[in-house]
Amino acid sequence: MKPIVILGIFVADTAYRAERQPKMGETILGTSFVLGPGGKGSNQSVAAAMASAGGQVHFITRLGRDAFADIAQATWARAGVVPEVTEDSESYTGAAYIFIENATGNNAIIVAPGAAGRVSVADVEAKRALIEGASVFVTQLEQPIPAARRGLEIARAAGVRTILNPAPAAPIDDAMLALCDYVTPNESEAEALTGLPVTTVAEAEAAADSLLAKGVGAVVITLGGNGALYRDGTRSVHVPVISAGPVVETTGAGDAFNGGFAVALSEGRDVVEAVRFGCATAGISVTRPGTAPAMPARPEIEALLARS
């Protein structure tokens, strides 16, 4: 099986739980703190490796030379991710501040990408052969956009299926969107890309149509507790949420979805089945705290799908 190749960033997640966020100038007491692995690309790589039935998942990124880099390497080794890392002695391994609201599990995040913010077009070119030999290429918008664009260009030219998870939301021109077989925003990212509100399935369909008009091959809008909408030029399918239990934390849900979705596509599943596989992956992840540590193993995903 051809590998899945993911371009993105690793950051160390510093996760704080409290009743509410502090106001500017205010200090409050939290109820817990956890240090763990994060970064959308890294999380998606872990999710894909955990969800894969033996396929290889390669992750292209930059790290500093520090204790947070050691966390990255240990995380990937446990999940079976193949690291494609440029060590950057002139920067630091990135970190993220994550606030989690006790009552809801909702989150607010600040990312300082460090070395991963220096991922360059040259870094991507150095991995050209790997990308060209992939079954699926995935990227996001946490690393510099020129690097993401180049990865998509290389993959598209080689006939590799391309997934862009446009997170965090950032302006993207139509030429870059046209390189994407699949774009996978959540509601707020879809709104940022299209200027259209996304609070219902019908509104998600309108936003998806706007993205299709910009040249995207197909759109998957993740809708939190409402599941996901798949829409292309001929099909529109709302896939309901696949629940595995009470929600503990939603931080890594989108990354779980994208990792699972990429795996299912790489295995040749129908795209709507791939969306269901992604929803099941996310449905399990939200029942656990953390991001990468919450990603489910393949047998868990298959068991949930079998009983859904």
Tell me whether strands 161-164 and 4-7 are parallel, antiparallel or unpaired: unpaired
- What is the pLDDT averaged over residues 132-141? 98
Task: Given the residues 13, 123, 181, 255, select the one marked as catalytic.
Answer: 255
- Are 141 and 168 a contacting pair, CB within 8 Å? yes
The separation between CA 292 and the C-alpha centre of its own chain, rounded to angstroms, equals 11
Establish whether the linkage from the previous residue to 185 is cis, with ω within 30° of 0.
no
Asked whether residue 267 carries a pLDDT value surpassing 90, the answer given is yes
- Are 227 and 238 a contacting pair, CB within 8 Å? yes
Give 213-253 pLDDT, tens digit per residue: 999 999 999 999 999 999 999 999 999 999 999 999 888 99
Quick check: pTM over 0.75? yes
Give 151-180 pLDDT, tens digit per residue: 999 999 999 999 999 999 999 999 999 999
- What is the pLDDT averaged over residues 73-86? 97
All domains in the chain, ordered by first residue: 39-92+119-307 (3.40.1190.20)
The separation between CA 297 and the C-alpha centre of its own chain, rounded to angstroms, equals 17
Confidence at residue 274, expressed as pLDDT on a 0 to 100 scale: 98
Q: Could you confirm whether 255 is annotated as catalytic?
A: yes
Tell me whether strands 57-63 and 4-7 are parallel, antiparallel or unpaired: parallel
